[in-house]
Structure 1
Amino acid sequence: MALEDQLKDAWKNLFNLPSSIDDLLTLLDKVENLLANVEQEPSKLMHDALLPIMKALVSHELLRHANMDVKVSVLSCITEITRITAPDAPYDDEKMKEVFQLTVVVYENLSHLSSNSYTKVVSTLDTIAKIRSCLMMLDLECDVLVVEMFQTFFKIISANHPHDVFSAMETIVTMVIDESDNISLDLLIPLLASVRKENETVSPISWKLGEKVITNCFVKLQPYLQEAMCFISVVSDSICPTKVGQAVGGSFKSVDNFDFLPTDEKEDFTILEEDNVLSFPAPITHIEFVTPDKFNVMESTTSLFSILPTVIPNLKQVLRVIILLLQHY
């Protein structure tokens, strides 16, 4: 039987869904396998055979099914549809937003390595990275979903995942950042949180993912990170600025470049050449620095400019972000 005819038979079953979860999963597996054999830019005959299946897959019953394995199987089928129609979206804007909502929910299942649908989730993640369909989220202004996706990636990635999962996540996050017109503070928070000092020990793979993304996107992130430092509220020892520097492969030689400071502030400090210490005319309030343990004995963190060369070895511009001047909420 021709592939077009098999697709026509399959969509008839999708409009009369079996009541059994196992039977439904078997049907969706069959549909996914059929779709996997359809090439991009299909003929008119194939396109006509696809349309009913495309419509059936985004029905309320399937798109909002309560069973997670069904959700994953539905997304796998829709991902194949998206591959076939790429670079064009297969559905209208509202349906695509629902698809991306499902996508973010399904990604959470990556943390369940022993689940029945884990392999499908990995395959879906890899396909989405390859066909760049995640960029449609930017076109549709799905900003909240993008942030949730970033948070999910940094939360669940672990040493138990194969490299393909790490690579796909890195590709997706890097791609979204590079293609974004503007990088919001909400988007930066999970990225910066991933390179927290303690995260290198507690969640080293998440830290490595953040490090790689910052390295990949340092040109795009440069002005946004500079601005973010003034607004993100982080307590002392939360995010290590040296880690942000290391994440972009920074190798700093001396305290001789202060381009990370606004122009009108550059005259408000002097450099004491004999000991490479920054001197400011007056203490700045509401600022804390990430400091080594040996400085914890100091009673105040508002006048720590004299130890900056130790806190942040060999200051020099990296992403225009060297120190985290973090204003409290």
Structure 2
Amino acid sequence: MTSTNKLQAELTDAGNKLHLSSSTPDILNILTQMEKVLSRVQRPPSNAMVKVLYPIIQALIAKKLVRHPDVNVNISVVCCICEIIRIMEPNAPFSREHMKEFFEVLVTSFEKQSCASGGSCGKMTKVLEIFRKARLPVMMLDVRVEGLVGRLFKQFLTSADLNTSATLLEMEKIMTMIIEESKELAPDLETLIIATLDKIDSPVCWQLGKKVLRNCAGKLQPRLPDMEAKETIPCTSETSNLRKDTTHKIKVECLEESIDTDRVNHLGLHTEDGQKTVSSDDPSMPSKSVTEVMGKRKRNNEQVLPFATGNYSSMAVQGVPRKVSYSMTHVQGYKVKKINGPILEAIFKKHGDIASDCVVKTASLRESILEVVCEVVKRIQTNDVATIVSDMEEIEMQVLDAEATNMKVAWLRAHLEAIQKRTAAQKMSTSIVKMKANTTLVKRAAKMDLEERRIELLTAQEQFEKAERCVEVLDLVEMKLNDNFVESEAEKDLWPEQPIL
């Protein structure tokens, strides 16, 4: 057996086991084995190798793996998918929607890697290298997942001091590649970097941000002198408060899709005249020129980055400028739309302050997440199952984003799981009804066939009986002929032999 055939056999075996395995330890062992084998496959793959990879690709994009609750499984899945993308390059082994889901799992895995056990950090460094070499950061721009790009940048910047120098270099190259390849998103990413670093006191994180901005200086013209000046100031509570107190107020014109103010609030842009005033409680903002570019650029069919947190991919906005007005109310210190006030009060009454452990410190952003939770509750309360099911993917993403910020929405998750079980039961019931109808039709056809066969059998039976009687008659005739033959022979022997004359 050649080495190529051996690799194909090993991959086929791993793929078959992956389809059958259900326990987390088994899945991890199989994925680890598969990753090692995939890393030995050379490019370009033969037709035989492509056929072997196809069932593995289908298994890796199955919901039970890409949405597996164990972060180590997520990371292993990402490793295997990255290897397959490397092998199949430049051909795309996955659809556009599957790539979006892959990028979601990838970014979420980066966000969770500090909590993962085992050799996850080493795996993630390898993933970053393959991710960059396959130019997957550019593909993120092609499939328009700007929210995930923002989350990726924020994760790199906030976790830089937890990684090795090799990993930091890969992070720097990836961030630089995205900014250089993005024409319209670059200013937003610059603002995201500066706004994120404004809240971080780690020199390592600052160095990473500075290097990225310097690498892209020709395109961004960032305010590096301001950053360097800030870095030289020792980080104390006094200097931190001073930076907050001196943050000037800037009005940023909102972008929203239409009168649908719910989606506007997803970014925390709560105003009465369609504008937002950034107060000293919000994250420090860059100079007016950069901020106004971010706020006023009118881009059709493009998401606006949630620059303060980068954690809300499903809460981004598409659209055109429009003035919006709506009344606000306060619920236990949170400013929300008046229409959502009663819902939030009911939530707090039953489940307490669900935002008490939220990792997002900016009040407006916490309020925007609460708005989203209220909107999800409103959708569920309508009991419009058809609409809820059709919007389930979006609702699921919004709840995942809320969970990512430590928002206490386990009770909401329970409702979603109940709805999903109900939907699955409904689908099963519908499937059974269809199968029953099909069975009735097949049974009817089978009965007709049985009747035809019965008639054929009776006809054959009659023919058999006729043939049998015919044989019996012929037997009798044969016996009679035999008797006659014997008699004739006997008479022949008795005839006297006398001379005639």
TM-score interval (norm. to shorter): 0.5 to 0.7
1:308 equivalent in structure 2:
none
Residues 222-257 of structure 1: per-residue CA shift (max 9 Å, x gap)? 3xx59xxxxxxxxxxxxx85226999xxxxxxxxxx
CA distance in 2 between counterparts of 1:205 and 1:110 reads 18
SS at match of 1:169: helix
Which position in structure 2 is the counterpart of 1:14?
18
2:152 corresponds to: 149
Is contact 1:72–1:117 with CA below 8 Å preserved after alignment? yes
Q: CA–CA distance in 2 between the matches of 1:58 and 1:243?
A: 42
Residue number in structure 2 paired with 1:162: 164
Does the C-alpha gap of structure 1 residues 114 and 56 become closer, same or farther in structure 2, counting only changes over 3 Å?
A: closer
Match of 1:243 in 2: 227
- 1:82: how far off? 1.1
Render the CA deviation track for 1:127-165: whole Å, top value 9, x for unaligned.
21222212110110111111110011111110x421111
Contact in 1 for aligned 2:176/2:215 (Cα 8 Å): yes
Which has a greater percent of helix?
Answer: 2
**Is the 2:71–2:116 contact (alpha carbons within 8 Å) kept by the matching residues of 1?**
no
What are structure 2's unaligned runs of at least 5 residues?
232-238, 249-285, 296-501
1:86 alignment partner, one of 81, 89, 93: 89
Bigger relative CO (Cα 8 Å, ≥ 6 apart): 1
Q: Provide the residue aligned with 2:173 in structure 1.
A: 171
Q: Give the Cα separation in 1 of the matches to 2:47 and 2:247.
A: 69
Matches within 5 A, 1:189-268: 189-196=191-198, 199=200, 202-222=201-221, 242-243=226-227
In 2 relative to 1, CA 66–195 (structure 1 residues): closer, same or farther, beyond 3 Å?
closer
How big is the shift at 1:301? 9.7
2:71 — aligned with what? 68
Contact persistence 1:109–1:118 (CA under 8 A):
no
| Distance apart, 1:35 and its partner CA | 0.7
Q: In structure 1, how many angstroms separate the alpha carbons of the residues matched to 2:247 and 2:123?
A: 50
* 8 Å contact kept, 1:110–1:156: no
Q: Structure 2 vs 1, CA of residues 86 and 73 (structure 1 numbering), >3 Å: closer, same or farther?
A: same
Count of aligned positions: 240
- Counterpart code for 1:242: D
Task: Tell me which residue corresponds to 1:233.
Answer: none
Distance 1:106 1:24, change over 3 A: same
The TM-score normalised by the length of structure 2 is 0.44
**Percent of aligned positions that are identical:** 35
Letter in 1 for 2:181: E
Relative to structure 1, the CA distance from residue 35 to residue 207 in structure 2 (aligned partners, 3 Å threshold; closer, same or farther) is same
* Offset from partner CA, 1:81-132 (integer Å, 9 cap, x none): 1111223332010000000000000111343486442221221112212222
Larger Rg, first or second structure (1 or 2)? 2
Is the contact between residue 194 and residue 210 of structure 1 (CA under 8 Å) also seen in structure 2?
A: no
Dislocated runs of 4+, deviation >4 Å: 112-116, 244-247, 326-329
| Inter-partner Cα distance in structure 2 for 1:193 and 1:244 | 15
Q: In 2, Cα distance between the equivalents of 1:119 and 1:134?
A: 20
Query: Do 1:154 and 1:206's aligned partners in 2 also have CA atoms closer than 8 Å?
Result: yes
Native 8 Å contact 1:137 1:143 kept in 2: yes
Contact 1:15 1:56 in 2 (8 A): yes
- Where structure 1 has 5 or more consecutive residues not aligned to the other structure, the ranges are 227-239, 248-292, 303-322
Cα RMSD, aligned residues only: 3.0
**Aligned mates of 1:104, 1:246 — CA distance in 2:** 30
